[in-house]
Structure 1
Amino acid sequence: MAERRTVLVTGATGFIGRRLVPALVDEGHDVRAMTRRPESYDGPGKAVAGDVFDPGSLVDPLDGVDVAVYLVHSLDHPDFERKDAEAARTFAAAAAEAGVGQIVYLGGLGADGEDLSPHLRSRREVEELLGSTGVPVTALRAAIIVGAGGISWELTRQLVKNLPAMVVPRWVSTPTQPIAIDDVIRYLVGVTGRPEARGRVFEIGGPEQMTYLQMLQVAAEVTNGRRVPIAPVPVLTPRLSSYWLALVTDVDVTTGRNLIDSMGTEVTVTDHTIRDIVPGDPLPYDEAVRRALEEQ
């Protein structure tokens, strides 16, 4: 177990943050949950007001903080690359000024040097910008995170729930490595405040490398007790795919398009050194799906 630290969690009310804050509290850390609307926060830890686009608003939340967990993204914005870079620069400068000892960042899988999608390229840029002012960054890179409320999981869940059959783009044959939200939280908690994790990049994933097609089929079997007929076709462009997703799910077109652009890139774990810092076997995909459905 890591020493007791003062930890700031940005994005404390989001998909990851609302699970991470109580887990860090349970670990014995003093946790500040940063949100733009602290008056409406009803979770554990201490609610603090802060906006990653406003340097002045970050002074008080970061004062005396040992570890800052950065869980901010603007995927629902058309110009998310610019916004995410701006926010990362602002936060990195404020963290350095406050003397923060570690920034923990949840980014995206994908080999360096590949032709990354705008989404994955942005995640990598944010990772670099967070470390640009000298604060040691611990980056956890993940692919699809399976958990109730996560955008990628919601796409999967709603597709297999709403459609008796599917015509899907070619990207369904791309390999990826989904990971249960429980394991993401376990890894985030495990590296927080750990000196041996500072300044390092870790890849995290579940035990199986799967295609999106296989993920859809397993999710359909767990959800409905049967497989769904799925036919890949070559003509669905990312733009057409995003409109199709918006039609049959509640994910908006902009977010869907930004996610789909990444689904043609293979994102699998090639380095398992995270287990040296945080031991334990990750949950298999079908169990992650069951837990997500139970929580739903």
Structure 2
Amino acid sequence: MRVLVVGATGFVGGRLVESLRSAGHEVVAFSRSASRSSFPDDVEIFEGDLADPASLEGLCDGIDAAYYLIHSLTAKNFADLDRTYARRFRERASAAGVDRVVYLSGISGDERNLSPHLASRREVESVLEAGSFDLTVLRAAIIIGAGSASFRIVDDLTDRLPVMTVPKWVSTPCQPIGIDDAVAYLIGVLDVEETRGGIYDIGAPTVWSYKSLLKLTAEEKGKRVLIVPVPVMSPGLSSHWLRLTTDVQYAIARPLAESMRNPVTVDPERDLQSVVPIEQTSVEVAVQQALADG
């Protein structure tokens, strides 16, 4: 199968390209920063920018399936950009006759009071759904791995604050997933016809809170932390607090922090594990691997 990865140089994209190759697919890697040195010789490179329509000529030609992994969190108007980019991709994929598209989105619990970040993910889902291809949406919470911005925030906090006065979102339930499992699910849906047109949640086998995830990460590094939630800290204030406690770019950390108020756990009725079973990695092991690779 000839597969296009849009966002191939990102945290998920780079690993997905390698796993698709290993699975025997012909891979086209699209990114603004795609270069020959970034990928093995048998990966086709397509350097382009969704902000520049002229650079997209022929992007989807001959493509059977595509993964759409674009999120524009570094821009203040990221929702506008994500909407525009998704439309441009949809138009080209539809015109070229792409059969399937897989979009990596975000879990957002009960779908009420969504943060701007999660609301934008939902909008992109709707934009892509209007294409002539079959869309499969996988929704994830924190993806644990070296290079993950969300996990980097957790890692930085446990490095710098032995005593944390933290926003109340530390008690929010979440269901992280290791990067290897996320990639396994992304590839697995291609072989399961039932997943065409479906929306699925992906996560590790157990539910955590951000507080318990912080404690686990600290323990894996041989540290102990004292966490004291402060109920009056708003999402806006908590994002400024992150500016002082993590090296993650503030433009990325802010929307991620605002999203942490939403419970992000797998809905049993949408659990991809029941349709595409894999050997799941525990959160404990995923954290160990991320720290070893970091």
The residue type equivalent to 1:259 in the other structure is: L
1:60 is matched with 58
User: Within 5 Å, which residues of 2 pair with 1:183-222?
Assistant: 183-192=181-190, 194-222=192-220
Structure 1, residues 194-246: CA drift from partner, whole Å, max 9, x if none?
A: 4322111111000111111011011111112x430111112322222222212
| Residue aligning to 1:239 | 236
Partner of 1:36: 32
Shift of 1:282: 1.7
Q: Give CA-to-partner distance per residue, 1:77-126, whole Å, 9 cap, x none.
A: 11111111111111111100010001110000024642211111111111
TM-score w.r.t. length of structure 1: 0.94
Distance 1:29 1:35, change over 3 A: same
**CA 1:165–1:111 in structure 2 vs 1: closer, same or farther (change >3 Å)?**
closer
**SS in structure 2 opposite 1:38?**
coil
Query: 3-state SS of the aligned residue for 2:72?
Result: coil
Amino acid at match of 1:66: D
| Alpha-carbon shift at residue 166 of structure 1 (Å) | 0.8
Matches of 1:214 and 1:112 in 2, distance apart? 22
Given residue 23 of structure 1, which amino acid in structure 2 is its aligned partner? S
1:142 partner amino acid:
A
- Where does structure 1 differ by over 4 angstroms across 4 or more consecutive aligned residues? none
Post-superposition shift, 1:40?
A: 5.3
Contact 1:55 1:94 (C-alpha < 8 Å) held by counterparts: no
TM-score normalized by the length of structure 2: 0.94
Contact 1:102/1:135 (<8 A) preserved: yes
Residues 59 and 98 in structure 1, CA contact (< 8 A), matched pair in contact too: no
- Distance change >3 Å, CA 96–CA 119, structure 1 → 2: same
Amino acid at match of 1:77: A
- Aligned pair partner of 2:4 in 1, 4, 8: 8
Structure 1 contact 53–90 (Cα < 8 Å) conserved: no
Map 1:64-143; keep pairs closer than 5 Å: 64-111=62-109, 113-143=111-141
Asked whether the equivalents of residues 30 and 45 of structure 2 are also in contact (C-alpha less than 8 Å), the reply is: yes
| Equivalent position SS for 2:104 | strand
Q: Match for residue 257 of structure 2?
A: 260
Shift of 1:41: 4.2
User: Does structure 1 residue 25 correspond to structure 2 residue 21?
Assistant: yes
Unaligned runs of 5+ in 1: none
Q: Decide whether aligned partners of structure 1 residues 111 and 244 sit closer, same or farther in structure 2, where only a CA change above 3 A counts.
A: closer
Q: Which amino acid aligns with 1:154?
A: R
SS in 1 for 2:285: helix
RMSD over aligned Cα, in angstroms? 1.5
Other structure's SS at 1:47 match: strand
The equivalent of 1:249 in structure 2 is: 246
Once the 2 structures are TM-superposed, how far is the Cα of residue 163 of structure 1 from its aligned partner? 1.8
Number of aligned residue pairs: 291
